[in-house]
A and B are shown apart, each in its own frame.
Chain A
Amino acid sequence: MYYLQKDEYDAIVIGSGITGGWAAKELTEKGLRTLVIERGRDVRHGKDYVTEHKPDWEFPFRDSRLDPDKKGTEDYQVQARTSAFSESTKHFFAKDTKHPYQEAKPFTWIQGDQVGGKSLTWGRQVYRWSDLDFEANLKDGNGVDWPIRYADIAPWYSYVEKHIGVSGEKLGLPQLPDGEFLKPMELNAGEKFVKRNLEKAMPGRHLTIGRVAILTENHNGRAACHYCGPCPRGCSTGSYFSSQSSTLPAARATGRMTLVANSVVHSLIYDESRNRVTGVRVIDAETKEPREYSAKLVFLCASTLGSTRLLLASKSARFPNGLANSSGVLGQNLMDHHFLVGANGQLPDLREHYYQGNRPNGVYIPRFRNLGDEATKRTDYVRGYGYQGGAGRAGWGRGIGEAGIGVQLKSKLHEPGDWGFGITGFAECLPRKENYVELTSDTDAFGIPQLRVSCDWGENELTMRKDIAAQAAEMLEKAGCKNVHTYDANQPGKLGAEPGLGIHEMGTARMGRDPKTSVLNGWNQSHDVPNLFVTDGSCMSSSSCVNPSITYMALTARAVDHAVTEFKQGNI
């Protein structure tokens, strides 16, 4: 391929993860010849899921979690902080030595480095936003007003859900709009017990099965889940959403997608005379040789911090502080969801009940605070939180931490233990300019300046955590749990429940109505440069408390629709 130094495409998509895959599908299906550039290695659907279905005993450490102090994690000292990082998933995480960054305060940046990005390893929980979320900035004055409302995105949630397949239970709750659902997964016996008692004792509180991008019915050529358990190893039957299972095949089917892997975008090329991004500079991940590609339209989907980093690093005379950064707010208003605070307890009896199969999903308790009425209003914090968790019978692990050995131990562990139930809050974080990223003068192996991240939880988050723990305990007790214990893993200034660990990092290139205070308009389009669109988590102006990926997918599909209309009319 020596002759194609400058390849001209209709569109370039930077990144092949949750949003990059969607941009690729939408652009190609609408007729644009599209180049997708992925910095990491190729991972082929099915073929490269090397640990799928492997039983525990075939792993040297029995599929243990790999903490940062364990041997073999030297290249993964940040990635090893998340419990998602284990023997069976390690190969779907970026090496921190290859993609380093700096922490002014503890911030855990979990990164993918392969085709599919974090869509291979994500948690698959999907919840729509409501106007409670879209209006929050306007109503309480934190951040800037979203330039869209639920009515703008609702059709795109439906569009995305219909393609990817989402299973869940309709609840009719205004703060958690229902989606286009396949049938919900069943609660287990313990969860049914808690749900029944909780909803009776505390009207207004709801417990439902998680809404997940996992199929409970065959859908669009992909098979229903077979309940083997660990989705993040990859799924050959395509039963959960990933770029590999869902969006890249659709893009490939058009014949208009070119996907290059091991290609690290170094910077975006900006033509000041036309005020357009004209292409990208790429460094080959293996040879470190530079290449360029050009296109008329660019979708930046390189992950929240990946995209903002590229914009900051793409300086020019017109944009000395980073491409598309006339506002100066690029890099500011970093958010994540805070979690790891809640309660656990034991369920009485139910010893004649068990379950079968490995359900890759838990329960969800939707937000019940600050819903806009007096009854749910808090005076000590704004915004809200939900809970995720579930019930189960104690397994053999209970033998580790208590007295008992020999035949007595073996007999005890032969049977399942008592039922337990636990929940952790997933909670909103306010947008604040004091939480930000900036470039340092250190570059990485590809010549791209490293980011330094400065982010911590504010008063609103910390106050909310107290309520999350207290409410968890109250709900568990009222639902009939015994021996209820609360916990909060957050340790200010240290690792424990630090920002980033939620792996819902968002913000830093926010959408807004005013080009002076935002980077993107209501179409995810740069206010400054009309042919540049940014649709991953960096675009978020506020964080809500719900898992964000389906919102990113919907925003991407909607943005492509607008961009292609403009493109075909010759406006960009």
Chain B
Amino acid sequence: MEISHNIDRREAIRRAAILLGGVISAPTLAALLQRDNLAWAAAVGDTAGPWVPRTLSAAQLELVATIADRVIPPTDTPGGRAAGVHQFVDVLLTDYYPAAERDRFLAGLQGLDFRAVREHKKPFGKITRKQQDALLAKMDREAFPPRQMVADSEKKLQPPPRDPVVGPGANSTGAPPMQKPEADPEGMTDAIRSEMGSDWFWHRMKELAVVGYYSSQPGSTQELRVNPMGIWRGDIPYHRGDRAWA
């Protein structure tokens, strides 16, 4: 039997108060919740107004949203776009990652579009969903080669992710060097070419999609379940299909 655990924070505190025999009084509870909201809003400089990206252009934002929806598609629960992965990516690029990593990411993002153009003559956003899935799946397999879980006693050298130290074509997985097109697409730079020969961008994009999705409200509460506060049970039955804790 699956117990519904779609509770939000207010409900969680309310339930905790009940379990604690009313140790938290109603006014205290109300104050706690309000304090959280006000103090937090002050702390993060909450401002009114619609959200706008500060690093990604509108086109880049749309591309990231499209990628997010391919990595975590909408099913019976929301996908990456609805969960706001693209907004999360913009926040991290602006406020979290050092500038050099931001620039690598943007170059890699452009590189993805150039790869789509090379294969399908159109940017990523304009190719079919099936073509998008196939292209990303190929990048994903290249970036995450199958690896055996080996114990220390049997350790073999694992190939590192491709990340060129020198220029284009230098990679260590044995994939053929990138074919130089007849003419570079307009806007090609060394930085973009470098990222296209590296797995770095896809490692980062996938991480952002997975983290951005599963730590979002729909990801945590609809696709998965928030592990509720209240009591601790160390050993409860698990049935196949029960959603994981977020």
Contact = CB atoms under 8 A, between A and B. Distances in A.
Interface in A206-261: 218, 223-229, 236-237
Given A57-B217, A71-B97, A406-B137, A355 B241 contact: no
Given A227-B230, A404-B140, A409 B71 contact: yes
17 contacts: A50-B35, A57-B215, A63-B215, A69-B98, A218-B20, A218-B23, A227-B232, A355-B233, A357-B233, A358-B229, A396-B214, A402-B144, A403-B144, A405-B71, A410-B72, A416-B238, A484-B152
- Indicate the member of A185, A346, A407, A409 with the most B CB atoms within 10 Å: A409
B224 interface: yes
Contact of A50 (B40, B98, B231, B237): B40
B96 A236 contact: no
B152 A486 contact: yes
Interface stretch (A187-195, A286-294, A428-436): A187-195
B32 A415 contact: no
Which 6 residue pairs spanning A and B have beta carbons closest together?
A: A357-B232, A186-B234, A228-B229, A354-B238, A62-B215, A403-B144
A192 B32 contact: no
Given A71-B98, A400-B210, A57 B244 contact: no
Given A227-B229, A236-B24, A405-B206, 12 more contacts: A46-B28, A52-B32, A60-B44, A91-B43, A186-B233, A353-B236, A354-B238, A357-B229, A397-B210, A399-B210, A406-B72, A416-B245
Contact of B88 (A48, A62, A401): A62
Interface size class of B (residues with CB under 8 A): 35 or more
Contacts of B81: none
Interface in B202-229: 206-207, 210-212, 214-217, 220, 223-224, 226-229
B27 to A, nearest CB: 12
Contact of B96 (A50, A61, A186, A484): A61
Contact of B95 (A57, A60, A224, A356): A60
Contact of B223 (A47, A229, A237, A410): A410
Interface of A: 46-48, 50-58, 60-64, 69-72, 91, 185-189, 191-192, 218, 223-229, 236-237, 346, 351-359, 393, 395-397, 399-407, 409-410, 413-417, 473, 482-486
Nearest to B139: A405
B214 A355 contact: no
Nearest to B23: A223
B146 interface: yes
A50 B34 CA distance: 10
Contacts of B75: 407, 410
Contacts of B98: 69-71
Interface of B: 8-9, 12-13, 16, 19-21, 23-24, 28, 32, 35-36, 39-40, 43-44, 70-73, 75, 88, 91-92, 95-98, 133, 136-137, 140-141, 143-146, 149-152, 206-207, 210-212, 214-217, 220, 223-224, 226-246
A357 to B, nearest CB: 4
A409 B69 CA distance: 12
A56 to B, nearest CB: 5
Most buried by A among B24, B75, B149, B245: B245
B199 to A, nearest CB: 11
Contacts of B228: 356-357
B133 to A, nearest CB: 6
A53 B13 contact: yes
Given A70-B98, A395-B245, A356 B229 contact: no
B140 to A, nearest CB: 5
A48 B39 CA distance: 8
Contacts of A60: 44, 91, 95-96
A466 to B, nearest CB: 13
B48 to A, nearest CB: 17
Contact of A229 (B23, B216, B229, B239): B229
A294 B3 CA distance: 61
Contacts of B151: 482-485
A189 B233 CA distance: 10
Nearest to B243: A414
A175 B45 CA distance: 51
Contacts of A71: 95-98
B224 A355 contact: no
Contacts of B43: 50, 91
A57 B216 contact: yes
A354 B2 CA distance: 13
A53 B20 contact: no
Contacts of B143: 403
A354 B35 contact: no
B206 A400 contact: yes
A55 B217 contact: yes
Contacts of A218: 20-21, 23
A397 B43 CA distance: 28
Contacts of A483: 149-151
A236 B136 CA distance: 47
